[in-house]
Structure 1
Amino acid sequence: MCGRLNMSLDPADLVDELDIDTVGHRFSPRYNVPPGAVLPIIVDRPAETGEAVRRLESARWGLVPGWAKDEKIGFRAFNARSETVASKPMFRAAFARRRCAIPVAGYYEWQADDSGAKTPWLMHAPEGQLYMAGLFEFRRRPEPEGEGDDSADPAVRDGWLVSSTILTTASAGHLAEVHDRMPVMIRARDIPAWIDPTAGADEAQSVLDELLAGFDPAAVERYRVSREVGNVRNQSADLTEPVDDE
């Protein structure tokens, strides 16, 4: 699984590298991001001209389909298993039509020993960002009552909640020593194929298969970090500092 992220790098720095046309995501460094928080997502969306526009936008972490009666459903949909994502009712529509890439500085995972004690690790790229395969959805928000509005929520645009989930797969290489699941990773050059809004479910499955087959565990490094990261109220940059192996 993937349930805690390091969002300490500004994804707007990727504008040139990824040919991003529009930046709507408001960045602030965060070192201990749980489900329910806001993520940056990279999407291709059609403009009024019909041409795709590459956008960096904000989304709530935890997928909320348009048909959902309660947004709380997102708290159990922050990950989607790649093995079943194309068929599960929660995810299949987004898999067929609304795929995204999620840039992160890294993610945390916990390694359990024989006694049950858990040691946190930070997984990160040797340089720069990691990119994770994700899905996104839109859900219409009811009109706010009274004087309140949704303008303070970066995941809400023009009355629509944007939400996202991260695809996972069986861990590979040294990552399996920490946890049996990992995010589905994307190389920067593969992002356009994954987020292509004209590609349907069959094409998306082919791209996903290629992403899984082509993953190199050496593209992700790891080191131990403080157990303080286990408490989401802890947000210090010190959480990303390596600790001794002992």
Structure 2
Amino acid sequence: MCGRFTLTAEEETILSYLNLDHKPMTWKPRYNIAPTQSVLSCIKHQDAMRIGTLQWGLIPHWAKDSKIGSKLINARSETVMQKPSFKNSFARKRCIIIADGFFEWKQNEDGKQPLYITLKDQPLFAMAGLYDTWQDEHEKKIHTCTILTTKANTFMEHIHQRMPVILKRNHIDSWLMPKQSIPTLQSLMQPYHAHEMRAIPVTKKMGNAAFDSPECIQPI
């Protein structure tokens, strides 16, 4: 699964990674992004990339209660086309969530140790996601998202059995294309290359979602 991640890069680095011109955006470095919080995301609208924030935890447009969002922070890539909560978004509303690392907990003899996982040669990466828009009884719209997961690669399987779907940079446009074929989408939802990943043990204090500090990603 993916339950915590980071985005500490500066605005210029993010826009360069996405091949976007300078656009107004409000984002400060985040060292411990947790469910129900805002995440930086991109969608494709009328053939143009649009960047903005979404609330992490998908609330399907048909949901009666927004509380369902806290339970839908991840979607399994193997079943995403069948699940009522995700299938409509998978068909029409795919997004990417920008990150530069994510956390996972490894079970050791003395308990669970948080690990900070990054890519060796990429300062940023895009996680495959889905989004939807929900409207409450006061007609207030909430734009939300979920992160797709896949089976662990040979690097991650020693840490956790699942991992986020990380897209190669040249696959982002294919994922966001509104009328993409199912076989192409399935080919993109694969485990990232194991040899391109690394992990370091970090402080257990990051287990507190309110603890958002550079200390979260410092090796111990």
Q: Please, what TM-score do these two structures have when normalized by structure 1?
A: 0.83
**Other-structure match for 2:169:** 188
Q: For the residues of structure 2 that align with 1:8 and 1:230, how far apart are their CA atoms?
A: 18
**Other-structure match for 2:213:** 236
Partner letter of residue 164 of structure 1?
C
The question of whether the paired residues in 2 share the 8 Å contact of 1:171 and 1:182 is answered with yes
C-alpha displacement of 1:185:
0.8
Q: Deviations over 1:12-37 (max 9, x none)?
A: 53334423368464201111111000
Q: For the residues of structure 1 that align with 2:152 and 2:23, how far apart are their CA atoms?
A: 32
Partner letter of residue 10 of structure 1?
E
Unaligned runs of 5+ in 1: 47-51, 145-158
**Other-structure match for 2:145:** 164
**Other-structure match for 1:61:** 56
Partner letter of residue 43 of structure 2?
V
Give the share of equivalent positions with the same residue, in percent: 31
Unaligned runs of 5+ in 2: none
The question of whether the paired residues in 2 share the 8 Å contact of 1:40 and 1:57 is answered with yes
**Other-structure match for 1:27:** 27
- Partner residue of 1:128 out of 100, 123, 126: 123
Distance 1:177 1:43, change over 3 A: same
Partner letter of residue 229 of structure 1?
M
- Partner residue of 1:104 out of 95, 99, 108: 99
Q: For the residues of structure 2 that align with 1:17 and 1:7, how far apart are their CA atoms?
A: 13
Q: For the residues of structure 1 that align with 2:189 and 2:61, how far apart are their CA atoms?
A: 28
Residue correspondence of structure 1 range 51-90 to structure 2 within 5 A = 52-90=47-85
Residue correspondence of structure 1 range 195-214 to structure 2 within 5 A = 195-199=176-180, 203=181, 205-213=182-190
The higher radius of gyration belongs to: 1
The question of whether the paired residues in 1 share the 8 Å contact of 2:12 and 2:22 is answered with no
C-alpha displacement of 1:135:
0.4
- Partner residue of 1:137 out of 114, 132, 143: 132
C-alpha displacement of 1:131:
1.3
Q: Deviations over 1:186-209 (max 9, x none)?
A: 01110000011132xxx1x32333
C-alpha displacement of 1:89:
0.1
Q: For the residues of structure 2 that align with 1:83 and 1:180, how far apart are their CA atoms?
A: 14
Count of residues paired in the alignment:
219
Query: Alignment RMSD, CA only?
Result: 1.9
Q: For the residues of structure 2 that align with 1:169 and 1:57, how far apart are their CA atoms?
A: 25
Distance 1:22 1:79, change over 3 A: farther
Structure 1 counterpart SS, 2:174 = helix
Distance 1:133 1:37, change over 3 A: same
Structure 2 counterpart SS, 1:173 = coil
